[in-house]
Amino acid sequence: MRLKTIIRLLVPLVALLAMGLMPLAASAAPPLPAAPVVWDGTCTVQAPAGLRMREGAGLGYPVVRVLYNGETVTRSSAAPMYNNGINWVWVRAYRAGLYHEGFVAQNYLSCGGGGTTYYTLKVVSGGLNLRTGPGLGYAVARTVPYGTLLSTAGVTQWSGGRQWTRVATGGHIYWAATTYLQRV
């Protein structure tokens, strides 16, 4: 009799516990850029109304803090992540003796000198193959459609009579034939 009573009490408790943990797992913050983070120069915030620093690379992530217009931040050397039509970069801001880190929209940063400057390229052909290295001899890692936006730091290399550009999308690095890319 005691065992049945204990089981009757535990089953709903376990169910409630399981339901309570599910939303926590679904809303967990995304992984940070691969360790160790290499900081790649300073940038200045260019957003008169302030720039929202977020937990993750996207508009759906919570705002960690708002950066002031003209505030100096340090950006990571990781390639920008593309989400919601925006290139997101991982930055660090120093305020009142503490470092605060998070993702910000790259377009609102002015990164002159010292750091790597990334810019956006648009795919201007249908079904562009992104490869693991610069050349036709490298495996096709992914194929992207016309109009896809890719990030690049402008690194190029010639191979097999073609110029190849090192590009980033979705947090991964690939190589694409430069002929089929246009700067946005």
The whole model's pTM is what?
Answer: 0.48
User: Sorting pLDDT into bands at 50, 70 and 90, what band is 151?
Assistant: confident
What are the tens digits of pLDDT across the range 27-54? Answer: 444 544 444 567 777 888 888 888 999 9
Query: What's the CA gap between 150 and 141, in Å, rounded?
Result: 15
Kindly report, residue by residue over 79-103, the tens digit of the pLDDT. Answer: 777 777 788 888 999 888 888 899 9
Q: What does the pLDDT look like over 64-83, one tens digit per residue?
A: 999 998 899 988 877 777 77
Instruction: Determine the average pLDDT of the residues in 105-122.
Output: 74
Distance separating alpha carbons of residues 103 and 79, to the nearest angstrom: 12
- 168 pLDDT more than 60: yes
Q: Look at residue 13 in the predicted model and tell me its pLDDT.
A: 61
Residues near 130 by Cβ (< 8 Å), separated by ≥ 6?
Answer: 140, 141, 142, 143, 144, 167, 169, 174, 175, 176
Distance of CA 162 to the CA centre of its chain: 29
Residue 25: pLDDT band with limits 50, 70, 90:
very low
Residue ranges of domains in the chain, CATH in brackets: 39-110 (2.30.30.40), 119-183 (2.30.30.40)
